[in-house]
Chain A
């Protein structure tokens, strides 16, 4: 009798727990502000300006697209160009998304990795990659730092963080043409960057993020909207970038505002 009661009690507890877990799963929407605390804040103002050193901190960032890269050795020029040219979602080189917009992508599957796990292992060569479909969300964010810590963006949102691709875009609003400026980027790791639809930088190799580690040819920021777009791909390490415009003397350009679209 006593034993039967215990079993009944256990079954009841299990049922309650199951319902709670189910409820938690249903209510598992991540609080973005809390999840990205210390690195990003959701955009709450109509526009921003570059910081005192000219770094652009306001960005639309798409949740990471899985692209397993188990080593940093793979980021040759051709690999970078080829893999950052894959069309994952429609109009990816022209779209100006709004916060919360979603895109559907087909991407290579990789086992989940968290902070208690080792970095992703190389897929055995004989294995064919598996592909999965995913719905990813754009987030309008202001970085708390001069750099954009993509790794923490992915970690905070509980997404893949190693071997992933991050699409980022922002809008530079000028009251008049600003000529002879260069886009200066520090990138960890490989990346491609476009200004107003024109590719201005291809950053290959095992790079770390250093301020102004590569700059574009001179470009003109035209009066009105200018679209700055970048795509960054990492391997088994951190991922982050910093971007600003500098003039011919290397000084930061700051005379513009920044919006998400």
Chain B
């Protein structure tokens, strides 16, 4: 009985850890989420049906968003000091594929705000029920030139794009067919290209869904959108961005959230989360760009890593004596008759006795895969998170010795992790695939500072510069 209870507790703990290690926490249950939008320091997403999710930090989500109109698959965008929310619903004709997109403005998304009031819904057009289009799943994009675009449609025919007046949201162009056999469209612009992200596959079957996010790109907002092998999306083309990941099935309804230059996230849903009864859940992952194409980053994985500077390629290490390994130069001869044996890695117990007991400072040195360079990075979701991830503790593997920010805007290791804010680290995958490593707070300052290489051998804290390799790190799995 006791053993059973213990096993149950262990299983529950394992389940909790598996959930929190790679998914939003709280109650992130939603289907067809709109692009995550920030409003007055909170994050919002709306889903099919009514209402939506709110998060204070982008990590812990709960219900509470308010969106009237019902219908399916909304989207939201901030334009100036207002928010435009679109959704779609049948237009009352009784035909299954007769659907229209509706738009509403609001000064805020916070239902507690005195300014919270949606405008009357405006009909943006859609489908008549007979044509090869189903006027649902709207997506909005503000182009780099200030032009506002709407995309809508499903597998029932074509995805269509039309221009809206950014002041009123009224349509100002006729719809153009741009893609076939996909749905949940979303447009975005990056570095000279317009991108159309959509989904192929079947939704709404939980863990048996086959939803997958695909993309094509064009030099014009009205297409043609072509994939990486030259196939037009109107010919069924599309480069895969994300289908599923371990334990989570059926990615769909892409949204792009730009944290800042060089730091982007993609919001979407998984149709079925195996760790949450197969329910549809909100997911937020790093969004990277490679060779002009969007790439979905994986969720952070706890483990033992080297923290390697992008500046020099050296590794963050304790400033301690380098203890030589046993053995040495075996000579220059090429005698193949010698016995060849595998030597063991240097172990923590071989060296830890040579380390000071209190705080130990840090430096950056050539990567040798030694214990003073081995960092255990572990999410501590119970201590909070940020958009797309939980804060981490960074400790020397096999010890409690933790990386911490200091009041002098430097870094140090302390003998034991205490959970103090300066010992919690936000790790963001950057759009180029490297990482930004930032303490939750730095004692004595409100400045947002990140781990930087101020010299080849010297780490410190400094202002993040997305254009400088001094601000970027790589995580090399041990």
Contacts and interface: CB of A to CB of B under 8 A. Distances in A.
B236 interface: yes
B237 A211 contact: yes
A230 to B, nearest CB: 17
Contacts of B156: 237-238
B210 A206 contact: yes
B130 A115 contact: yes
Given A115-B130, A206-B210, A237 B155 contact: yes
Contacts of A213: 236
A51 to B, nearest CB: 12
Given A116-B96, A206-B201, A211 B210 contact: no
Contacts of A118: 96
Nearest to B200: A208
A71 B205 contact: yes
Nearest to A72: B202
Interface residues of A, number: 24
What is the interface residue range for chain B against chain A?
20 to 34
A211 B231 contact: yes
A146 interface: yes
B236 A211 contact: yes
A146 B236 CA distance: 12
A29 interface: no
A242 B96 CA distance: 26
A237 B97 CA distance: 12
Contacts of B235: 146, 186, 210-211, 242
A213 B210 CA distance: 16
A118 B94 CA distance: 10
A209 B201 CA distance: 11
A233 to B, nearest CB: 15
B241 to A, nearest CB: 15
> Interface of chain A, helix or strand or loop or mixed?
loop
Contact of B181 (A71, A117, A146, A209): A209
B180 interface: yes
Interface in B174-232: 180-182, 200-202, 205, 208, 210, 231
A118 B156 CA distance: 13
B95 A238 contact: no
B180 A209 contact: yes
B297 interface: no
A146 B95 CA distance: 28
A36 to B, nearest CB: 13
A72 B209 CA distance: 9
A132 B201 CA distance: 32
Interface string B125-148: 000011010000000000000000
Contacts of B210: 72, 205-206
A206 B238 contact: no
Interface string A99-126: 0000000000000000111100000000
Contact of B231 (A71, A188, A210, A237): A210
A240 B129 CA distance: 19
Interface in A228-261: 237-238, 240, 242
A130 B97 CA distance: 29
Contacts of B97: 115
A238 B155 contact: yes
A73 B205 contact: yes
Most-contacted residue by chain B among A116, A210, A211, A212 (CB, 10 A): A210
B53 to A, nearest CB: 28
Contacts of B237: 210-211
A206 B203 CA distance: 11
A205 B202 CA distance: 11
Most-contacted residue by chain B among A118, A209, A238 (CB, 10 A): A238
A112 to B, nearest CB: 14
A208 B96 contact: no
Interface string B81-100: 00000000000001111000
Contact of B238 (A205, A210, A240): A210
A208 B203 CA distance: 13
B201 A188 contact: no
Contacts of A116: 94-96, 129
A242 B231 CA distance: 14
A212 B200 CA distance: 16
Contacts of B130: 115
Contacts of A73: 202, 205, 208
A8 to B, nearest CB: 36
Contacts of A186: 235-236
Nearest to A250: B229
B208 A210 contact: no
A186 B202 CA distance: 17
A149 B132 CA distance: 10
B96 A117 contact: yes
A212 B235 CA distance: 9
Q: State the 7 A-B residue pairs at the shortest beta-carbon distance, nearest first.
A: A210-B236, A208-B181, A206-B210, A211-B235, A72-B202, A209-B236, A208-B200
Given A206-B201, A208-B200, A213-B236, 12 more contacts: A71-B202, A115-B129, A152-B132, A206-B210, A208-B155, A208-B201, A209-B236, A210-B236, A210-B238, A212-B231, A237-B202, A238-B155
21 contacts: A71-B202, A72-B202, A73-B205, A115-B97, A116-B94, A117-B96, A146-B235, A149-B132, A208-B200, A208-B236, A209-B180, A210-B231, A210-B235, A210-B236, A210-B238, A211-B235, A211-B236, A211-B237, A213-B236, A238-B155, A240-B181
